[in-house]
Structure 1
Amino acid sequence: MATAAGDVLVTAAEDVRLKKGIAEFYDESSGMWEDIWGEHMHHGFYNTDDVVEISDHRSAQIRMVEQALLFASVPDDSVRKPRSIVDVGCGIGGSSRYLARKYGAECHGITLSPVQAERAQALAAAQGLADKQVSFQVADALEQPFPDGKFDLVWSMESGEHMPDKLKFVSELVRVAAPGATIIIVTWCHRDLSPTEKSLRPEEEKILNKICSSFYLPTWCSTADYVKLLESLSLQDIKSADWSSNVAPFWPAVIKTALSWKGITSLLRSGWKSIRGAMVMPLMIEGFKKDVIKFSIITCKKPE
C-alpha cells in the first residue's frame, strides 16, 4: 500500500520475501551482466543529439556517474571533495571503485547479494584498491551498519526502486550523511500525479505490476514523492530532474545484447529469475514510451 508521501507499507513476511528475492535475483544475474555489460550495473546517460555514441554503452554508464555528480554540484577540489562515501545498493561495486579513484576517498558499498559483495571485493583487489579504501558487505539499506554522520557523499544509483519503505530508505541516507554532505538518489519512478489524480490509471498500474513481479520491486513512487520526503526531513538544496530521454537507448540495447548468441547462452546458464527479468524488458520500453516510467535524479544536502 502506498501513502501520499510515497512510502510503502509491507508486512514483515512480505519484507523478508522481497529481500530474499532481490538477493537471489542478483546472485543469479550479476555474473551475466558483468560478462556482457561490465562492472557498472546501471543505465547509461546518452546525449540525445549524438546518435554515434549510442553504441558505446560502457562510456555512457561512466557518463551517468559523472552527470549525477555534476547535477549535485559535488566539489572535486582538494579541500572540499568527499573523503568518505557510501554506495547504497552497490551491485558489483562499479560506482564505489570509480568514486574512490576519482576523489581518493574511502568508499563502503552495501548490497543484499552475497555474490555481488564477494565479486565487488575481488574486483577492488584486482584493481589495486586496498580494503581500507574500498570495502563491500552484505547489508540492508534500510538498516545500514554505519554510525550517524559518517559519510560526505551518500550515493544510491538505481537501488531506491527496490526499497519497500521509501521514508525509511531516505531517513537512513540522511542518518549516515555527515553535516553538509551531499545525497544523490538516481532511481526509477512513476510519473508525477496531477493535482486531481489519486493514483495512476489502471493500464499504467498493470505495466508496473508486471515489472515488479519479475524485478522484485515493491510499489513505485513518483519523483514528487521523493521531494516531499526530503522536504519533510528538512534537507537543503533539493533538486530533481527527469533523465528519461537521456536513458532511452538503454533498454533497446540491453534487449539486443540479450538476443545475441552470447546473451542467450548467458541467460540460460544464469537461471529462471534472470530469464523472467529478461522477459519483461520490453515493458520497460513501453513504460518509458507511455511516460508512466521516469528515470529520475533527486539530490540534496544535509544541513551543516
Structure 2
Amino acid sequence: MQVAYPPFAYAVMTDPISGITDGILKRPATDPVVFQLDTSSEFWQLQGSLTVVNGLGNPIPVPPNVRMYFNSSMAHGSATGGVLIGPPGTNVLCANPTPGGSIADTHRALLVAMDQWVDQGIEPPPSNYPRLENGSLVPVADYLAAFPAIPGIGKPVGFNTYELLDFGPTFTSTGGIRTREPPGIGPSYMMFVPRADTDGLDIAGVRPMQIRVPLGTNTGWNVRNDAHRPQDSLCSLTGTYVPFATSLAQRLASGDPRPSLQERYADHGGFVYAVAVAAKQLVLARFLLMEDFFKYVQGAAVSSVLLP
C-alpha cells in the first residue's frame, strides 16, 4: 500500500513526479535482505506497479538484496480457486463469484529459500514479478480489452489510482503542519497491471498450481453489485473465480469463449498428469516444497475432475 509521499521502491531514486530522492533501502551496511510477495490485488487496489515502475512509466531496478515474487491471478491473501480449493464463494458486496479459499504453498517454499539465503548463503530464486520490459505489465485499458467476455461476469473500468497530495506549504514528505484539509490533488502517477492470457490468467509471476493447471479463471479483482455502488467499481480486495465448463457443448451453449476442461485435459488421467508436471516444475523452481508436490498429485488423483 502506498503512502502520501515517495519512496515507493526499494532502490534510491529521484521520484519524477514529486522530485523527492529516497528509497526504502538506503543504508547498505545495515539493509536487510527482503522478499516481497504480492498478488494481483496489490496492482489493482494498492498501486503495486510503483515498486517497479516510476510515475512516468519507466522501469525501476530491483536491488540485489531484494527479491520480488508475484502470486499470479490471486486476490489479497493468496485467495484463489481451482486445484484442491473449494467451489466459488460469494460476497454480499460483490457481483462476481469469489475464490473458494487461499493457499500458502508459495509462502512456505519461499520461507525455506529465505532461511537458506540468510543462514547458508544459498541464492534464492530470481525475482519473478511483472515487468514493463517483457510486456507482462500493461495499461489497464489493454488488460480490459484482452480479458475474455465471460457470460455474466462484470469487469471494472479502471483501478485505484494514485495522485500526489498537497497538504499545504508547511507540510512536506518528512512531516509538518497541515494547512489544507482535505488535501489538494496533485499530478497522477502512471500505473500498470499484470497482463493476462486468453483465459484471463496473469502470464507473469510464480503461476502457482491453480494457475498452471486451471479449473477456472482467477483474478485479483471483483466488482461491486448494483446495490453497492456502480457495478464497475472495484469490490475491496476481493477476487473473482469463474470455473470452466466441463465440455465443449456446455461452453458453447453458454457462450463461454474459454476452452472447457475436456478440451484442456481430455479426461481425469490427463488432468492428473498435468498437475504432476506442473508440480515438478514448481519444485524445480523452488516455489513448491516436496511435501506439497505429493499433496497436489495425490489430491488430483482422488479428485472428481473429469470423472464420469
Shorter-chain TM-score: which interval? Answer: under 0.3
Normalization by structure 2: what TM-score? 0.25
Determine which structure has more spread, i.e. the larger CA radius of gyration. Answer: 2
> Would you tell me which structure has more helix in proportion to its own residues?
1
| TM-score with structure 1 setting the length | 0.25
